[in-house]
Amino acid sequence: MSRHTSNRRPDKGGWRARSTRRPAAGATAALLAAATALVPLATAPPATATPVHPAALPATRPATPPPARPDSASVGRGALLTVTPLGTRDRAQLVAAARQAHFAGSAADWRHAVRHDVSAYRVGYRTITPDGRPTTASGLLVLPRGAPDRLPALVHTHGGMTARDRAPSVNAQGPDRLATALYAAGGRAAVAPDYLGLGKGPGRHPFLHTAATVSASLDMLRAARTAVPLLSAAHSAGTDHPEHASPPRRTSLDGRVYVTGYSQGGHAAMGFARALAAGADPRFRLRGLAPGGGPYDLLNAEIPAAFDGRVSGVAAVLTFSQALISHHHFLSPPLYSDPHEVFRPPYASFIDELFNGEHQQDEVIEKLPGTLRELLTDAWYEKLRRPSGRLLDVFRAIDTTCSWAPEVPVTLHTASGDHDVVKENTLSCARQLTARGAFVTVVDRGAAGHNEVFQQSVLDVTRSFPLTD
């Protein structure tokens, strides 16, 4: 392994590159059991694991007359709606799962990083649509068992997907569920938003819509802030009759937030971290940032690579068809009048439906051609090659997530062998950040492919943020 390191100090900015190869009292017994059920994360939850309203969780202090419940219209963004237990894993299970998933690192490495058993929950909460209307969304919350009373949050933003049931809070077998659990096992409250239109949220997913992704992620963190003390009280009570229990232990978030994410989630992580640093919610403070494989610069990196062959044809088709269709649905007026303007037959007749959240990625890939030339009409092929007008505005809005100055060290994970999201995206992001005074480390995984970069970076990410016994 070779390493090239800048001599500049972190507080003066700089870019370092590394290359590597490798809720109320009196809860019923059934609801308390649901909130503390012990089942493996990778299996379906038991019959008792139904959504629990926060008010049904045990109180954290002696019962007092509850305040009047607000009407749904007056409940604000980030309000916690439901908590669904998804099960637990102990330390040995987590280490074995990390190895089975081919996450880089020896068994000894993972035993050191995994400090706690964990419990996982699906959280439902209130948020807003891209045009500011009220909606709901879901996300994954994983908590370490036996951790200190004050926990930092680690937010993991997931990669692109076409099916809503692949989101972290729903897909028990997915890599995002496992990575979030591993991050929590280091002694943090690990939070993984499903985003709008994925998981249990209604409507379409606004793919690469920065503002919508940031707002849904921030509201998920707010909901987690409410859920953590309620869930810790339920575990601490340890009885079906919490009114007879000793005062329950109350765990809460301490305000520190560490942010990571991969692929689409790398882009989301940069946008979310930027919002935190700008004071989007004064209760949370950005303390670390380590995204990977993000499409940070479509105009100057990803689009040129899609047309000169450095991005594989399948990846280009998947990324840009989803981006065009998504922004068409969320722009006013729409990006185009008719799909036949943009897509060749027969794809124009069914491509919109392919991205409605009900189709697995393999199915989408099978039904679409292997190149942009085969997918797009001649006019839109040239429009995508050289964007102008409203399409240029769309891509410029997507390409803003690195134009700020983080005051915390930043690590960006990438690979020269990535032919889905080319390394030039990361190099462009690093240049933008360092030009504003940030201290950035770029980790190049060499010949690793897109998914392999994620597998190789999870251990580094969990070790780059503080571990808590």
Q: What is the pLDDT of residue 469?
A: 75
Vertex 372, ends 314 and 453: CA angle to 5°? Answer: 35
Do 41 and 126 reside in the same domain of the chain?
yes
Instruction: Answer yes or no: is 436 within a domain.
Output: yes
Do 257 and 158 reside in the same domain of the chain?
yes
Do 246 and 342 reside in the same domain of the chain?
no
Q: What is the mean pLDDT of each run of 10 residues along the chain (469 residues)?
A: 32 48 34 33 41 51 34 68 96 98 97 96 97 97 91 98 98 97 97 98 97 98 96 63 47 96 98 98 98 98 98 98 96 93 98 97 97 98 97 97 97 98 98 97 97 97 90
Residue where a domain stops, chosen among 349, 364, 398: 398
Report the CATH number that the domain containing residue 47 is assigned in CATH: 3.40.50.1820
Query: What's the CA gap between 385 and 302, in Å, rounded?
Result: 11
Do 149 and 223 reside in the same domain of the chain?
yes
Instruction: Answer yes or no: is 355 within a domain.
Output: yes
Instruction: Answer yes or no: is 265 within a domain.
Output: yes
Q: What is the pLDDT of residue 246?
A: 43
**Closest among 85, 81, 71, 78 to 124, alpha carbons compared:** 81
> What pTM did the predictor assign?
0.86
Do 378 and 417 reside in the same domain of the chain?
no
Query: How many other CB atoms are found less than 10 A from the CB of residue 262?
Result: 32
Query: In whole angstroms, what separates CA 364 from the centre of its chain?
Result: 22
Instruction: Answer yes or no: is 66 within a domain.
Output: no
Q: What is the pLDDT of residue 7?
A: 31
Do 248 and 364 reside in the same domain of the chain?
no
DSSP symbol at 77:
T
Residue 68 · residue 30 · CB < 8 Å: no
CA distances from 116 to 372, 382, 398 (A): 47, 53, 38
Instruction: Answer yes or no: is 70 within a domain.
Output: no
Residue where a domain stops, chosen among 371, 398, 425: 398
Kindly tell me the sign of the dihedral angle through the C-alpha atoms of 6, 10, 14, 17: positive
Q: What is the pLDDT of residue 168?
A: 98
Q: What is the pLDDT of residue 248?
A: 53
Q: What is the pLDDT of residue 239?
A: 35
Do 80 and 165 reside in the same domain of the chain?
yes
Do 394 and 404 reside in the same domain of the chain?
no
Query: What's the CA gap between 239 and 76, in Å, rounded?
Result: 32
CA distances from 329 to 192, 209, 326, 451 (A): 25, 11, 5, 29
Do 7 and 121 reside in the same domain of the chain?
yes
Query: What's the CA gap between 256 and 369, in Å, rounded?
Result: 45
Query: What's the CA gap between 172 and 81, in Å, rounded?
Result: 21
Partners of 258 in beta bridges? 154, 288
CA distances from 267 to 257, 388, 423 (A): 17, 22, 13
Query: What's the CA gap between 29 and 48, in Å, rounded?
Result: 10
Instruction: Answer yes or no: is 64 within a domain.
Output: no
Do 149 and 41 reside in the same domain of the chain?
yes
Residue where a domain stops, chosen among 398, 414, 433: 398
Do 346 and 275 reside in the same domain of the chain?
no
Kindly tell me the sign of the dihedral angle through the C-alpha atoms of 88, 92, 97, 102: positive
Q: How many domains does the chain have?
A: 2
Do 161 and 97 reside in the same domain of the chain?
yes
Q: Which domain holds residue 263?
A: 3-57+75-296+400-464
**Closest among 280, 272, 37 to 155, alpha carbons compared:** 272
Query: What's the CA gap between 254 and 231, in Å, rounded?
Result: 16
Instruction: Answer yes or no: is 109 within a domain.
Output: yes
**Closest among 199, 220, 112, 202 to 156, alpha carbons compared:** 220
Instruction: Answer yes or no: is 63 within a domain.
Output: no
Residue 98 · residue 105 · CB < 8 Å: yes
Kindly tell me the sign of the dihedral angle through the C-alpha atoms of 102, 104, 107, 110: negative
